[in-house]
Structure formats: structure tokens, C-alpha cells
Structure 1
């Protein structure tokens, strides 16, 4: 499955090539591939690639959130198998998201891309907030679950696939 982020969080068309996210089946987890322009703003964080880093959203980042709307909010910092390369003003990254990281019965998803500093900070969303629903003074908020869209891991893995049970979500 392939998705392109073509709007900012508030439904304004981005003025650059869209961030592309591809989800592919993997034996150990969901493979997430990202292709994007490399803005190089702000500079890279000091953390080790693939390790949890609090505040990663303050840097140039592409992220996807998967949820089951019947599950409670649950945040935990977990390692990822991740690699990225920068070539000619573009970056490509691949992460393997282990099956046990997913809540049972994933049924919604949204993805975001963030880059830039200061007044040039840009927040992009796959499923943005519609312009007519933005309240005065409102800023980007990637935890507005009502704007997530229907998603199923079976769309990628096949209808007969069963999501492995996760000890993290018991």
C-alpha cells in the first residue's frame, strides 16, 4: 500500500513533492518505507538511530500512528529496526515495526511529516483537519483521533492473515 502526504495538518496543499509512505508485508513485522525530500532543517537529533528518542517530533520526521479505537491510550518507547540514507536532496528510510508493537485489531491510521524550524516549521498530515473544522487559534495536533481513517493490516498482509497476539497490549 502506498500513501502520499499532500497536505499540511490544516488541509493546505504542500508546495513540494509529497512524502511517500509504503507499507509492505514482513515476516517479523510491518515494513514501512519512506521517501521524502531532505530539508535538513532542523539538524539531526543526537540520538542513536533505531533507539527511542523523546522529542523526535521536534526534528525532521515522518511518523505513522496505528490504533484500535477501543484500546486505551498507551505510549511506550520501543526500539525499531531502522535505516535511512540521504542522496541528492532526498532521503529514504525503512523501518520494521514488530507485530507485537501493534494494538489488537488495528482499524485506524494516520501519518505525518514534520520539518523546518521557527516560523518555517511545517506540519503535514495524510488525513488533515478539514479547513471548516479548524477553530481560531488552533495549531497542529496529531492526537485528534477523529481524523484518522479506516485501516486494516489485512489490506497489506492478506485477508487470511491473523495478527499475532502482543504481550505489550494485555
Structure 2
């Protein structure tokens, strides 16, 4: 599966070549997501990824980033994957609109190439991170800062609203994800989903949504300016 993020969030056309995203299942139990396109480098990058870290970075949405959301619209459960051009990533599970139940999940991620004006990166997402019965998808590309911040969207927002909201699930486009992952047609959630949903149900989840002047963004209780280094060893496929 391959597509371009070829609209602004409000449906206006882009003035540059769009980011390209491809999704490919692998035989080792992961799904490879590749992002490629222009490197704008028009705002500070996150702290460098330290040796031995897998690159998981909280609040990556504040930087130049590509995001892909995979939605089970019957249950409103979705996987959010964020990819940065400098080796950073962020993987979240959400149950209900904007409701984070798990974040900073480990993942193999590597920037394959980066020049002054382009980048290509590959993420290897464990199948168990995907909710079952995915039938909707959206993707976003973000860069710039302040008044020059740009929000691009695969399936743009369909109503006359004044600011982008990436968690408007009604704007997501249809996808037959079972043609990519055969097992995704099941209604059974993986262990990581079951544990995260149970923690959310009984109020033991460490994550919540905070109010923000930018309502399309999500926040966890933990705010940090430094890179979180995960100790789990991530092996290349």
C-alpha cells in the first residue's frame, strides 16, 4: 500500500512535492512503514538519539514529523505512529478520541538517508500494536514553527473549521487493512491492547488528556525536554 499526503489539513493543495508513505507486511511479524520526502529543517530538532536508545521521544508532534493513524472505527481504538527525520519516533495506543492508554512503545526505527533537502526512514511496527479490524486510516506531515507551521493531511477535514484537528476520526479514509495483514480481520485484541485497555478501565493508566490551546495535540502527564531512552533491546528484522 502506498499513498501521498497531498493536501493541506483544510483541503487546499500543496505548493511542494508531498510526503510519500508506504505500508508493507513482513514475514517476521512486523509491518514496515516507510516515509520519504522533503526535509524542511525549519525548526529545531529534538535532542539527539543517544547510542543504545531506540529513539522513542515524547511530544514528537512538536517537531518536523510524519504521522500515520490506524483506526478500528467500530470500537474507536487506534494506533498512532509518528516518525521524525532525525531518528526519533513515538508510538501510542488510543481508546476513544484523544484518549491515550499507552505511549512510548518501543519500535525498530531507522533513517535510511537524509540530505539537506530530503529524508527516507523505515519503521518496523509489531503486528500486536495494531488494533483488530482496522477499516480507517489517515496520515499527516508537519513542519515549520509559529505562524509558519504547516499541517498536511492525507484525508483533509470535511467541515468548515478554523484549525487542524488530527483526531477528527470522521475524516479518516477507508482502508481494507485485512489485505495488508490477514490476521487483522479478527476481533481479538493483542495482549498489549488488552493490558492497556484494562488499565484505562480501572483508572490505573498513567496517561490522560490535558487542555491545550492547540486542540489537535495530545499530552501525557509526563512532560520532558530530554529524550527517554528505552532499555529494551530492539532487534532489526
Assess if the C-alpha contact under 8 Å between 1:7 and 1:14 holds in 2.
yes
Q: Which has the higher contact order (CA 8 A, sep 6+)?
A: 1
Unaligned runs of 5+ in 2: 78-94, 195-237
- Could you tell me how far 1:55 is from its partner in structure 2? 1.3
Q: What do you get for the CA RMSD once the two structures are aligned?
A: 1.8
- Could you tell me how far 1:153 is from its partner in structure 2? 2.4
Name the structure 2 match of 1:10.
10
- Could you tell me how far 1:52 is from its partner in structure 2? 2.8
2:180 is the alignment partner of 1:156: yes
| Equivalence map 1:1-150=2 (5 Å) | 1-26=1-26, 27-46=28-47, 48=49, 50-69=54-73, 70=75, 71=77, 72-73=95-96, 75=100, 76-77=102-103, 78-84=105-111, 85-130=113-158, 133-135=159-161, 138-150=162-174
SS at match of 1:162: helix
Q: Which runs of 4+ in 1 moved over 6 A?
A: none
* C-alpha distance after superposition, 1:92-133 (max 9, x if no partner): 010011111111211111000000111111000000013xx2
Aligned-partner Cα distance in 2 for 1:56–1:80: 15
* C-alpha distance after superposition, 1:4-61 (max 9, x if no partner): 1111110011100110000111122111001110000212211637433221011000
Aligned-partner Cα distance in 2 for 1:2–1:140: 24
Relative to structure 1, is the Cα distance of residues 50 and 114 closer, same or farther in structure 2, using a 3 angstrom cutoff?
farther
- Count of matched residue positions in the alignment of Structure 1 and Structure 2: 163
Relative to structure 1, is the Cα distance of residues 122 and 104 closer, same or farther in structure 2, using a 3 angstrom cutoff?
same
* C-alpha distance after superposition, 1:54-111 (max 9, x if no partner): 2101100001011112143352221121111212510001001111111121111100
Relative to structure 1, is the Cα distance of residues 60 and 10 closer, same or farther in structure 2, using a 3 angstrom cutoff?
same
Unaligned runs of 5+ in 1: none
Question: TM (normalized to structure 1)?
Answer: 0.88
